Amino acid sequence: MDEIFANLAIGFSTALTPMNLMWVVIGGFLGTVIGMLPGLGPATGVAILIPISYSMDPTTALVTMCAIYYGAMFGGSRASIMINTPGDASAIVTCFDGYPMTKNGEAGKALGISAIASFFGGMVGMIFLVFFTLPVAKMALKFGPGEMFSLLILALTATVTLAQGNLMKGFFAMALGFMIGTMGIDPQSGIFRFTFGVEALQEGVDFLVAMIGLYAVAEVFKNYRTVGKEISLDTSTIGKVWVSWKDFKQCLGSMIRSSPLGFVVGVLPGMGGTVATFMSYAMEKGLSKNPEKFGKGAIEGVAGPEAANNASSCGALVPLLTLGIPGSGTTAVMLGALMMLGVRPGPILFQMHPEIAWGVIASMMIGNVVLLLINMPLAIPLVQLLKIPTRIMLPLILGMAFMGTYFLNYSSFDFVLVTLFALGGFLLMKLEVPLPPLVLALILGETVELNFRNAMTISGGNLMFFLERPLSATFLGLAALSLVYFLWKNRKESLRSR
């Protein structure tokens, strides 16, 4: 307990520097804007804004990225409420009751409660985060290559099994990610693999280049379908962005219930804001005394999911910071960006540079407050941004995406890669192949292979090594369990539909 407070003290002293405070505000603001605009998700936003962090020291860069990530969680629901179009997947559920509230003339209340619930969920999530990180980081220090390999396999398998979709297509996506990741020089033997004689591929494919192609540009392709069909938005009738005490008390229960739920869901790889919000909505509707109000403007239907969403983004930071394992596309981008800056999240970070790790945690707590302050009074001006038509947004997004790509490696060949990844990503989306397993396999591939080979060296080529060590066997067992869970869940679905 004392240790936690001591670490928090270090964290706050790092976070409260003027530079870091300034970037929390800027990052939070940019994140809110990005999260708000449909067609531009937090993963894309973080990827494109990375060049800004180049001139910063690693802590400030990490603080800024977390602020953007976090801001996007606040902003995503704005578009859901005002124009029934979610800013990202985790804001879909907010459309269910948020938009009806706008139609009932209660837009101000909806915007207000979504900001307050986000703050609440974030605070609870941060408290859990603080208590969980230290023990997990300490435990992770004892992991050898065998345990790391099995843990990574567990994380990757969970991404396939816990998410929706076809199991085989998920594993295909994962394999594809690994394949792309192995292109380039093999760090342990020094030979070139799968480079097809192309010199530019010798260093391999930059993960962030792939992400910008898969997420930013492919999204633009998807949005080409709806360009020109603009939705009208009337912002004059929003009214005051405020929530009465009575409404707040009504939502208190749903916020208190949904926050821990969101946190736990966020920790698990493969499940994030989207699942958390759906589960919260189902729970609130099920527990409510007036379930028929849900879908017509029930304020709990906005408060619960919003709290769950922010709590889950805190939960997702646990495996990222303590183990270096991302659980979603956005956290994968953050990991990629950090590695580029020379920071390697994981137990070593907590040991060698606690001021970086705890500085980030502390600044997110500050960020939570800052974002609440940004989102309440500035809600109406911010919402005006939703009026920008797609035909202006899309070229701007592409311009920013390509510019951001250039700053990654100063290589114009990367533009070709971005375009190819965008085409591939679009194709995969059409074929309903899930992208998260691909993305995670791509960024974790090198680590997985490294640990695999090291473990094999230690064991002398014995594949059973992974099952002989208890912790490693537990992880693999859990992975198998998640497979069983998936098959059982699908068996129930197909039986029901008969």
Q: Which residues of the chain form contacts with other proteins (CB under 8 A)?
A: 51-52, 54-55, 166, 168-169, 171-172, 174-176, 178-179, 182, 186, 188-189, 191, 193-194, 217, 220-221, 224-225, 227-228, 390-392, 394-396, 398-399, 402-403, 406-407, 410, 412-416, 418-419, 422-423, 426, 430-433, 448-449, 452-453, 456-457, 461
When the beta carbons of 142 and 229 are compared against other proteins, the nearer one is 229
CB contact at 8 A, 305 and 135:
no
Rounded distance between C-alpha atoms, residue 333 and residue 311, angstroms: 19
Rounded distance between C-alpha atoms, residue 358 and residue 344, angstroms: 14
Residue length, the chain?
498
When the beta carbons of 67 and 316 are compared against other proteins, the nearer one is 67
At its nearest, how many Å lie between other proteins and the CB of residue 61?
A: 13
When the beta carbons of 48 and 117 are compared against other proteins, the nearer one is 48
At its nearest, how many Å lie between other proteins and the CB of residue 464?
A: 15
CB contact at 8 A, 397 and 220:
yes
At its nearest, how many Å lie between other proteins and the CB of residue 412?
A: 4
Comparing CA positions, the residue from 110, 119, 8 lying closest to residue 357 is 8
CA angle 423, 444, 185 (to 5 degrees): 80
| N-to-C CA span, the chain | 54
At its nearest, how many Å lie between other proteins and the CB of residue 63?
A: 17
When the beta carbons of 221 and 278 are compared against other proteins, the nearer one is 221
CA angle 379, 381, 386 (to 5 degrees): 90
Q: What is the DSSP letter of 88?
A: S
At its nearest, how many Å lie between other proteins and the CB of residue 471?
A: 22
CB contact at 8 A, 37 and 220:
no
At its nearest, how many Å lie between other proteins and the CB of residue 20?
A: 18
Rounded distance between C-alpha atoms, residue 441 and residue 242, angstroms: 44
Rounded distance between C-alpha atoms, residue 38 and residue 89, angstroms: 10
For residue 182, count CB atoms less than 10 angstroms from its CB and return exposed for 0-12, middle for 13-18, buried for 19 or more: middle
When the beta carbons of 348 and 396 are compared against other proteins, the nearer one is 396
At its nearest, how many Å lie between other proteins and the CB of residue 394?
A: 6
For residue 253, count CB atoms less than 10 angstroms from its CB and return exposed for 0-12, middle for 13-18, buried for 19 or more: middle
The structure tokens 């920790």 sit at 267
When the beta carbons of 381 and 461 are compared against other proteins, the nearer one is 461
When the beta carbons of 384 and 419 are compared against other proteins, the nearer one is 419
CB contact at 8 A, 35 and 73:
yes
At its nearest, how many Å lie between other proteins and the CB of residue 164?
A: 15
CB contact at 8 A, 386 and 76:
no
Query: In 10 A of CB 239, how many CB atoms?
Result: 14
When the beta carbons of 16 and 230 are compared against other proteins, the nearer one is 230
When the beta carbons of 45 and 301 are compared against other proteins, the nearer one is 45
At its nearest, how many Å lie between other proteins and the CB of residue 433?
A: 6
